[in-house]
């Protein structure tokens, strides 16, 4: 079965809900990139993907879908598992920690250093870089 | 041998030729021969040597190729005619090509950050492929995969990961 057949439901969902969509096959891996309008739609895509390939063990898809609305000056929610989110002096885990934000806290996105590291400011005025995977744009 | 003696022989030969012309190969046998030459996703039905193809292929070229492969099995193999009901799958939407990061050093540095909160797994990078080993809780699998896919590697190989 071709990758397109196997992941038909995922491709269709991405087609109907994701903007700036980029889909392509390369060396036996299906790449899906784009921007979802909400975190719910992004999560739905991951649910579909996980139902086709449980625990993502096959590795024949690389999906990088971010969430729209994460623009400079907007609010983002801290979505760590349980712990506090580290705020660092620079973009990298080798950088010293200059502050922390609690799970569920709404903080401000100042700018994006890159896809992985965003400059944020807490309500206490602490400013530094946090890992973008733990930040969710809020409407 | 006299002419008289020859008649039953000729009759017999005629009967054999006649039956072989009609259908000498059982449909089930034809079906398995045809199934051996078609691509996956194609279903085969055979009735009295008439082969019907159903299913989906990726392109018009594939559709024609499958039909040609089946027709290459001639009447001797029991294929009398082919009915091609194959449909062609909608092509991938015409989107810009996805970006792929194949710079191992860059990926390796980012993988360190991405897996920092998953101390029970190890991730290595080679030829643009992130290979993950170790074990992880079910609840964290999606987050780990999202973190690694976010780096746009060629592939995220988690086949060796044990999910608890």
Q: Report, as an integer, the average pLDDT of B115-120.
A: 90
Same domain for A26 and A42, yes or no, is yes
Q: Domain end: A11, A41, A67, which one?
A: A67
Q: Domain end: A67, A87, A103, which one?
A: A67
Same domain for A133 and A86, yes or no, is yes
Tally of domains within chain A = 2
Q: Distance (Å, rounded) from C-alpha A42 to C-alpha A55?
A: 17
Task: Enumerate the domain spans of chain B.
Answer: 24-88, 104-163
Q: Which residues of A touch B163 (CB under 8 A)?
A: 55, 57
Same domain for A62 and A97, yes or no, is no
Decide if pLDDT at B17 tops 50.
no
The alpha carbon of residue B51 is apart from the nearest alpha carbon of chain A, in Å, by: 22
Domain residues for the domain of A108 are 75-137
The alpha carbon of residue A56 is apart from the nearest alpha carbon of chain B, in Å, by: 7
Q: For the domain that residue A103 is a member of, what is the CATH number?
A: 2.30.30.40
Interchain contact A64–B (C-beta under 8 A): yes
Which chain A residue has its CA at the smallest distance from B96's CA? A22
Same domain for A84 and A61, yes or no, is no
Give the number of A-B residue pairs with CB atoms closer than 8 Å: 106
Q: What CATH number has the domain spanning B104-163?
A: 3.30.70.1770
Cβ separation B150–A50 shorter than 8 A: no
Query: Using one digit for the tens of pLDDT, what is the confidence trace for B40-81?
Result: 789 999 999 899 999 988 888 889 999 998 988 877 788 888
Task: List the structure tokens of B139.
Answer: 């609840």
Same domain for A48 and A20, yes or no, is yes
CA-CA distances (angstroms) from residue A106 to A118, A120, B147? 14, 10, 21
Q: For the domain that residue A43 is a member of, what is the CATH number?
A: 3.30.1340
* Count of CB atoms situated within 10 Å of the CB of B58: 17
Same domain for A58 and A100, yes or no, is no
Q: Domain end: A39, A67, A95, which one?
A: A67
Same domain for A79 and A133, yes or no, is yes
Q: Distance (Å, rounded) from C-alpha B47 to C-alpha B52?
A: 8
Burial class (CB in 10 A: 0-12, 13-18, 19+), B125: buried
Cβ separation B146–A133 shorter than 8 A: yes
Query: Using one digit for the tens of pLDDT, what is the confidence trace for A100-121?
Result: 999 999 999 999 988 899 999 9
Contact criterion met (CB below 8 Å) for A28 and B128 = no
Q: What CATH number has the domain spanning B24-88?
A: 3.30.1340
Render the burial of B77-89: b for 16+ CB within 10 Å, e for the rest: ebbbebeeebeeb
Cβ separation B156–A46 shorter than 8 A: no
- All residue ranges of chain A with pLDDT < 70 are 1, 139
Select the more confidently predicted residue: B15 or B140.
Answer: B140
Q: Distance (Å, rounded) from C-alpha A137 to C-alpha A128?
A: 17
């Amino acid at each position: 079965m071709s990758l397109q057949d196997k992941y038909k439901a995922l491709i269709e969902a991405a087609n109907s809900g994701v903007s700036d969509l980029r889909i392509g096959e390369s060396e036996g891996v299906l790449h899906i990139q784009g921007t979802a309008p909400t975190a719910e739609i992004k999560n739905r895509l991951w649910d579909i993907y996980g139902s086709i390939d449980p625990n993502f063990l096959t590795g024949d898809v690389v999906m990088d879908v971010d969430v729209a609305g994460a623009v400079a000056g907007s609010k983002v929610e801290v979505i760590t598992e349980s712990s506090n989110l580290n705020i660092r002096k620079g973009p990298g885990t080798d950088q010293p920690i200059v502050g922390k934000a609690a799970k569920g806290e709404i903080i401000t996105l100042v700018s994006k250093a890159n896809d992985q590291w965003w400059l944020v400011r807490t309500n206490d005025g602490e400013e530094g870089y946090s890992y973008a995977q733990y930040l969710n744009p809020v409407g | 041998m006299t002419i008289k003696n020859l008649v039953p022989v000729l009759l017999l030969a005629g009967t054999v030729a006649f039956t072989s012309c009609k259908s000498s190969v059982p449909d089930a046998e034809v079906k398995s021969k045809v199934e051996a030459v078609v691509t996956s996703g194609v279903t085969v039905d055979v009735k009295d040597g008439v082969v019907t193809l159903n299913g989906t292929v990726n392109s018009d070229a594939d559709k024609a190729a499958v039909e040609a492969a089946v027709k290459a099995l001639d009447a001797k193999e029991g294929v009398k005619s082919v009915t091609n009901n194959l449909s062609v799958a909608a092509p991938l939407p015409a989107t810009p090509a996805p970006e792929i990061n194949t710079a191992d050093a860059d990926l390796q540095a980012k993988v360190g950050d991405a897996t920092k909160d998953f101390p029970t797994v190890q991730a290595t990078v080679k030829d643009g492929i992130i290979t993950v080993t170790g074990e992880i809780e079910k609840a964290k699998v999606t987050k780990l995969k999202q973190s690694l896919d976010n780096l746009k590697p060629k592939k995220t190989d988690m086949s060796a990961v044990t999910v608890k």
